[in-house]
Amino acid sequence: MLSSNPDFVPRIGTVLEVLSILGIFVFAASGALAAARLRQTIVTFAFFALVTGVGGGTVRDLLIGSPVFWVHDAAPAITCMVAALLVWITPRSFWSDHALDWLDAVGLAAFAVFGAAKALNFGVPPFVAGMMGVVTGCVGGIMRDLLAGEPSILLRPELYVTAAAVSSGSFVLLRWWGIDVPVASVIAALLGFVLRALAIRRGLGLPVYRGIRPE
């Protein structure tokens, strides 16, 4: 029903492309940082950076049937290598203990918006496009945590998937209301980021399920 609005489907514009490169860079850096915590080598830094940086977008592209964005264009892969090198050569003091969380928060918001936009662009129904943003935003971080053998960021007490859902869902809604792509992108990304920031700083969370005692 939402697609009755003729101007609803966004074209990928400058703001979205900046969001995408930004998301790749910060997720890649968060991947390299996870490798740093594990005292790995520069090559493993690069591998973690690549998987974390392009993992979310790769799954999105496979799901919506688009050619995988980084395979025929070397720019995203090079972005990941630069992020890995930067984490490798910068002094330790440059990266606080919570740097991973903050980079992840930026990537989450940026990818959630970009994922929803690209899915809408491919004719995916709005409800599913919103989910596509969530899956896209969360998959990079999940892969990083799986590779690193760390407890998944999904399972921390503060809200995480919810922030992606807010960015992704609000982008779809703003587009439905006829808001321009650049404005909708920035508002939606900020909403998700602020929510995740509150979660990181103040432990903000949704009510958790209390019906079943953990075993």
Interface residue list for its own copies (CB under 8 A): 33, 35-47, 50-51, 58, 62-65, 67-68, 70-74, 77-78, 88, 90-92, 95, 97, 123-125, 127-128, 131-132, 134-135, 138, 142, 146-149, 151-152, 154-155, 159-162, 165, 205-212, 214-215
Q: Give least dist CB 103 to its own copies, A.
A: 14
Beta carbon nearer to its own copies, 3 or 14: 3
The number of residues making up the chain comes to: 215
For residues 11 and 210, which CB has a smaller minimum distance to its own copies in the complex? 210
Closer to its own copies by CB, 15 or 53: give it: 53
For the bound state, the minimum distance from the C-beta of residue 54 to its own copies, rounded and expressed in Å, comes to: 10
204: left (phi over 0), alpha (psi -120 to 50) or beta: beta
C-beta closer to its own copies: residue 33 or 188: 33
- 150, 166, 151: which is closest to 206 by C-alpha? 166
Report d(CA 21, CA 194) in Å as an integer: 20
CB of 68 to its own copies, least distance (A): 5
When the beta carbons of 46 and 110 are compared against its own copies, the nearer one is: 46
Residue among 181, 161, 162 nearest 172 (CA): 181
- Report the nearest approach of its own copies to the CB of residue 73 (Å): 8
> What residues have CB less than 8 Å from 48, skipping those under 6 apart?
31, 32, 34, 35, 40, 84, 144, 147, 148
8-state DSSP, 37: H
Nearer to its own copies, 183 or 206 (CB): 206
Tell the smallest beta-carbon distance from residue 55 to its own copies (Å).
Answer: 11
- Alpha carbons within 13 angstroms on the beta-carbon side of residue 38 total 18
Nearest-approach distance from CB 183 to its own copies, in angstroms:
25
